[in-house]
Amino acid sequence: MKVSELLKNKIKDAVTISVEITPPMRGHSIETMFRLVDTILPYKPLWIDITSHAADIQWVPTEENQYEKKIHRKTPGTIAICGALEYKFGIPTVPHLLCHGFCREETEDALIDLSFLGIENVLAIRGDGSAKEKRPGKSYHAHATDLVGQIQAMNQGQFLETKATPTQFEIGVACYPEKHFEAPNLEWDIDHFVQKQTLGANYAITQMFFDNQKYFDFCQKVAGKIKIPIIPATKILSSAEHLGKISKYFHVDLPKTLVDKLEQAKTEEKALDVGVEWAYQQSLDLIQKGHRHLHFYVMKNTKPFCKLMERFG
C-alpha cells in the first residue's frame, strides 16, 4: 500500500508512526534485520524506510606496505531487504534511492526490480557527502529533483531508451526545516522543495530536528506553496557522543538544554533516559499541535525507540 493511502486510511485522530532502519554490514545475515524488525512491530509502524548506501573509495594496505584503491559497498541489499520484509511481515517498506554513487541506468534497473517485487513506495534523495566517482559512459543525477523526474517519467511509461509499461511508484522526498547545509539560504532551499513537489513528489519527511519551533516555523514558511504532507522526523539521542556526530553528519542545531543534560549524564542509562524524555516531550508537543504521524530515525539500535514507545504506554 502507498504511503499516502496508509496515512489517509488510518483511524481519524489516531497517532501513528513510521521508522527508518539501515541494512546490516556486509557479511551479516538477513536474520539480523528480522530480529530488529521483530522488536519494532509491536508498536505498529505504518511503514519502514530502508536506507541505501553507495560504494565508497577505500585505501587497502597491500603486502608491499603500500595502499591500493578499492570501491566497496559496506551495506548492500536495500532492495532485497525490502522484498524480504514485505514478504515475511506483510508491512510496506520504502527503499531509499540515491543520486550519489548510482548512475541513471542503475536507478532504472533498481526501479524495475522494485516494481517486479510489488513495492510501491520509494524515497528519492541526493545522498550524503560529495558526489562519488563516476564511470565513463554512464549518466548521473546531480540533485534529488533530477531523480524525482526520472521516477515520475517511468510512472508515465518513459524509460531511458524506450517507452514501456508505466510503473506505479509513490515518491517521497526529504526536506530541511533548518535548510540543507549546502543551500545558500532557506528560501533557496524551499524553492527546490517546491520543485520536487512540482515534478511529482507525493510526500516529504523532514531531516531530524530537536527544536519543534524550527519545524513549526518551516511549515509556516512553506504554507501555500507545499500541498503534500510534511512528516516530522526525529532521532532519540542516547549518549553524549551523539552530540558531535549529529552536528557533523546531519548539520542540525541541538538545543543547549539537551546538550547540557546529556553532558551531565554520568552513565549510559542516564544518558538514554535524557534522550528518551526529550523525544517524549518533543513528540507530545507535536501531537498536541495536531501532527498525528511521527517518523523516527531508528537505524540499527531499537532500544531507545522501544523505550520511548513504552514511555507512551
Q: pLDDT tens for the chain, 313 residues: list them.
A: 999 999 999 988 899 999 999 999 999 999 999 999 999 999 999 999 999 988 766 666 777 777 776 666 888 999 999 999 999 999 999 999 999 889 999 999 999 999 999 999 999 999 875 555 677 777 899 999 999 999 999 999 999 999 999 999 999 999 999 999 999 999 999 999 999 999 999 999 999 999 999 999 999 999 999 999 999 999 999 998 888 899 888 999 999 999 999 999 999 999 999 999 999 999 999 999 999 999 999 999 999 999 999 999 8
Instruction: Say how far apart CA 306 and CA 301 lie, in whole Å.
Output: 10
Question: Per DSSP, which regions of the chain are E strands?
Answer: 16-21, 48-50, 56-61, 67-72, 93-98, 121-125, 170-175, 203-206, 230-231, 233-234, 293-299
Question: What local confidence, expressed as pLDDT, does residue 54 receive?
Answer: 84
Structural domain contains residue 258: no
Structural domain contains residue 267: no
Residue whose entry in the numeric block shows the C-alpha cell 548510482:
102
Q: List the domain range (segments joined by +) for residue 190.
A: 3-238+291-301
CATH number of the CATH domain containing 86: 3.20.20.220
As given in the structure block, the three cell numbers for residue 5 are 493511502
> 219 vs 112, 212, 228, CA distance in Å?
34, 11, 11
Structural domain contains residue 199: yes
Contact between 300 and 21 under an 8 Å Cβ cutoff? The reply is yes
Structural domain contains residue 257: no
The predicted model scores a pTM of 0.93
Question: What local confidence, expressed as pLDDT, does residue 132 receive?
Answer: 58
Structural domain contains residue 275: no
Structural domain contains residue 252: no
In 251-294, which residue ranges form alpha helices assigned H by DSSP?
Answer: 256-264, 268-288
Instruction: Say how far apart CA 219 and CA 262 lie, in whole Å.
Output: 29
Instruction: Say how far apart CA 121 and CA 127 lie, in whole Å.
Output: 18
Tell me the residue length of the chain: 313
CA triple 47-157-142, angle to 5 deg: 70
Instruction: Say how far apart CA 246 and CA 216 lie, in whole Å.
Output: 21
Number of domains in the chain: 1
Burial of 60 (0-12, 13-18, 19+ CB in 10 A): exposed
69 bridge partner residues: 59
Structural domain contains residue 306: no
Structural domain contains residue 114: yes
Contact between 265 and 274 under an 8 Å Cβ cutoff? The reply is yes
